[in-house]
Chain A
Amino acid sequence: MTVKPANLIYGLEDNPPMGASILLAVQHLLIAVIDLIYPVLIVGEAGGTRAEIAFCLQMSMLAIGLGTILQIRNRGPLGSGFLIPHVTTAAYLTPSLIAARVGGMALVLGMTMMAGVIEGILSRFMKKLRVLFPPEVSGVVVAMIGFSLAKVAILRFVGLGGSDSVIEPAELWVGGVTLSTMVAFVVWSGGSFRLYSAVIGLAIGYGLAMVVGISNSNFIDDIAAAPLFGLPSWVHPGLRFDIYLILPFFIGAMVSTLKASGVVITCQKVNDPDWKRADMVSVGKGMLADGIGCFSSGLLGGMGTSMSDFPWPPGPLPDGWATLSGFSFYCWFSCRNFRSR
């Protein structure tokens, strides 16, 4: 057993008391919530109903839950054994949007399964991958994920898209205030406010949208009408595949693989004060769990998931400029208002 580093309060093998564990877990949920926008967007693109959106979201969360548990286990050939929650990931957003347009949700799900399989396979060829994807290549890919979201984000930010072709000042206001809130909290606040900047921004955005009346008119009624507890209503659209979509999903899988390797290695460093070199066995096991999580998300009816790289509070960011575009996308992107179209 390795020694616990001095700057950790609870090391990997420690068990915090029940109350503290719950509190810490809720914090992680708050950080992850912003990534749950992606399934909403994709079903919207496929022209799905609100019920279908809810289903996709629920199934994504089901897969996230299962995947996270697999990821954390430290026995057997699966799972890195570190505290690495899964989330729905931006890496599959653009591919999924294409799939949604081409063949609806069934195609999204089928291709998400496929992406999971690809990641599982890639995890076996880690060494070769390094040669094919040096930082200047993977950096371009990561930055392009950020750039490719510009269109999706800006259309919603100014309130255009679909049949809506007028930029209304109210929409601009909501988007602007939401974005400024998020950025301001990250830049000027300290401690937990900084960590939850995205959630705070989202909450303010929801509130403001209600006040200025650009959210769906029966927003509150809809929430009141939904039961507190309930089984997800099963609206699985089936599975479809399309050979032409393999490339975009392959790229998504590749990005997830590269990210997974960075995340697991960071975890190794944080948890081992005597860390010398990356333990590629635990990296490979982590990737496999990542791939299986993604696969099962597609199978169940959710969108692609992968490791969350956000548990580390904003500090000097690891991948340099590539990461920063992705990071600022988070905030930019989340300024969309939450009308279901």
Chain B
Amino acid sequence: MTVKPANLIYGVEDNPPFGATILLAVQHLLIAVIYLVYPVIVVAEAGGTRAEAAFCLQMSMLAIGLGTVLQVRNRGPLGSGFLIPHVTTAAYLTPSLIAARAGGMALVLGMTMTAGAFEGILSRFMKKLRVLFPPEVSGVVVAMIGFSLAKVAILRLVGLGGSDSVIEPAELWVGGVTLSTMVGLVVWSKGSFRLYSAAIGLAIGYGLAMVVGISNSNFLDDIAATPFIALPSWAHPGLSFDIYLILPFLIGALASTVKASGVVINCQKVNDPDWKRADMVSVGKGMLADGIGCFSSGLLGGMGTSMSAANVGLSMATGATSRRVGYFIGFFFLLLVFLPKFSVILTLMPPPVMGAGLLYVASYLIASGIQLIMTRMMDSRRTFIVGLSFLAGISLEVVPALHQNLPTWAAAIFGSSLTVATMVAFALNLIFRIGVSQKAGLLLSPQLEVGAEIYRFLENQGATWGARQQVIHEAKHILRELIEALYMHAKTDGPVHVEARFDEYNLNIHVTYKGSPMEFPASPPTEDELMLDKSSLARMSGFMIQFMAEKVTATVNSNLCKVSIHITH
């Protein structure tokens, strides 16, 4: 069992008292509520009634509850074992809207099941995925999900769409105030106000919409007419499938997989103070539970779900990552299924409030996509991967003529900026892998400005390889320290040959030189040794290099010495 980190109040294995657990679980529900907008939007796009929207919402919550419980379990081949609530996800929103237009809710449900199956399959090919979807590609996908929400969101924010073609000032006001409240609370407030910014913003939006009279006229009556406790009225539209829609849903599944891996690894780090490297077993189990959650949502009648990064953020902010809280969240979602008033209130959400919520979520998606892209160093390859795929996606949004009058199969692909951008990024990444040598050499001589040479060499190679900035940064320092030590202590006066090898997981640097071998002791020389013994300075350098690098080995072959440095990528 690992030690609980000091900054957590309740670690994953701890059991908070009953009252505290309930309070924490309710907090998580408040965070998740904003994502429950998606099913309402999808059913509306399919032309469904309010009752159908309520059903889809209830079934989504049922799947969320079941999925969360599966996810939180730490036994068997399923579930990451961390406090990771599921929610309905933006990754499936655009694909679901296409499906809703093409074949109604039945198609949405069938394709959601397919997507869940995809994610389950993808979870088995994690290693390969990392090569096919490096951060610059998955970053484009995440940011494009945000961009693709723009149209859905802005139409509702200003109160357009459907038969309504007039922007009424009242609608603008409601949308504007809701969005400003959410953003204002995140930016300027602290503590719980900040955590519940979305829920508070939604509540204010509902209130304002009632006051200015743009909400459904019989809003209160409808809520009053709904019973407190009731079984969901079964309105399942059946299931249908369409081969042409596989691609957009596959991309949604892929985005969920990428997110799942990030979320689980994040949980591992928070819960283990001695965290060194990702435990891919628990990541794979988490993804499988994620896929099964999504699959069962489609089967039951809900839309696609996946792990909620926002909720994991909440658990870290509150310092409570207890598994028990996770179980409670799952049970609460199951409970909400049988409290129809809750679902009715959500289905009656005024469009400007919805728009504000979507813009709020989209901002996070865009920023985190860009962040993901920038974790890798940029070179001309990545410049074009990012630039051209964004431009291809955005072109579709600004020139609708591009996807009019297309045959069905093509419309499924070119109807979505997200699909096109993802395909361009994916294809360019594969094409640009041609001709990237994973090995590079550098010859250093004492006459050169060694430090600058090393920096330039590793910066250029790092950019070509698409290595993480942090790793290259470390490598620069280690290599510079080593070369300087060689010239100062190892009787090197000739050229030093540096060879760097890179793959997605490792950066290995081999340094060959003529001179005396270096020592890399595990502990530094004592103060006395440093004072008295001049040779201990070399051991001091050796210790520092050993300390910074993950693994250092020194070998001697006749009069040629070789130092190998390993850094995990």
Contact = CB atoms under 8 A, between A and B. Distances in A.
A103 to B, nearest CB: 24
A45 B311 CA distance: 50
Interface in A61-102: none
A249 interface: no
Given A154-B402, A315-B460, A316-B463, A321 B391 contact: no
A177 interface: no
A328 B460 contact: no
Given A165-B401, A324-B386, A325-B386, A151 B391 contact: no
A153 interface: yes
SS class, residues of chain A in contact with chain B: helix
Interface string B375-400: 00111111110111011001100110
B230 interface: no
Interface residues of A, number: 28
Contacts of B449: 6
Interface in B375-434: 377-384, 386-388, 390-391, 394-395, 398-399, 401-402, 432, 434
A193 interface: no
A34 B559 CA distance: 56
B459 interface: yes
Determine which residue in B390, B432, B460 has the highest number of CB atoms from chain A within 10 A of its CB, and name it: B390
A321 B388 contact: no
A30 interface: no
A316 B459 contact: yes
B391 A329 contact: yes
B270 interface: no
B370 A328 contact: no
A187 B391 contact: no
Given A154-B399, A316-B463, A320-B378, A332 B387 contact: yes
B373 interface: yes
A155 interface: yes
B399 A324 contact: no
A151 B387 contact: no
Contact of A328 (B386, B399, B435): B386
Contacts of A324: 378, 382-383, 386-387
A316 B391 contact: no
B25 to A, nearest CB: 36
Determine which residue in B379, B434, B459 has the highest number of CB atoms from chain A within 10 A of its CB, and name it: B379
B399 A160 contact: yes
B402 A328 contact: no
A171 to B, nearest CB: 13
A195 to B, nearest CB: 12
A328 B401 contact: no
A183 B389 CA distance: 13
A150 B373 CA distance: 20
A134 to B, nearest CB: 15
A151 B435 contact: no
Interface in A284-317: 314-317
B394 A321 contact: no
A332 B389 CA distance: 11
A332 B388 contact: yes
Interface string A136-157: 0000000000110011011100
A328 B391 contact: yes
B354 to A, nearest CB: 25
Contact of B435 (A160, A188, A320): A188
Interface of A: 6, 146-147, 150-151, 153-155, 158, 160, 165, 183, 186-188, 314-317, 320-321, 324-325, 327-329, 331-332
12 contacts: A151-B395, A160-B399, A314-B380, A315-B460, A316-B377, A316-B378, A317-B383, A321-B373, A324-B382, A324-B386, A328-B384, A331-B384
Given A316-B459, A321-B373, A328-B387, 16 more contacts: A146-B391, A150-B394, A151-B398, A153-B391, A153-B395, A154-B391, A165-B401, A187-B381, A187-B435, A314-B379, A316-B377, A317-B378, A324-B382, A325-B390, A328-B388, A329-B387
Which 4 residue pairs spanning A and B have beta carbons closest together? Answer: A328-B387, A154-B395, A324-B383, A151-B398
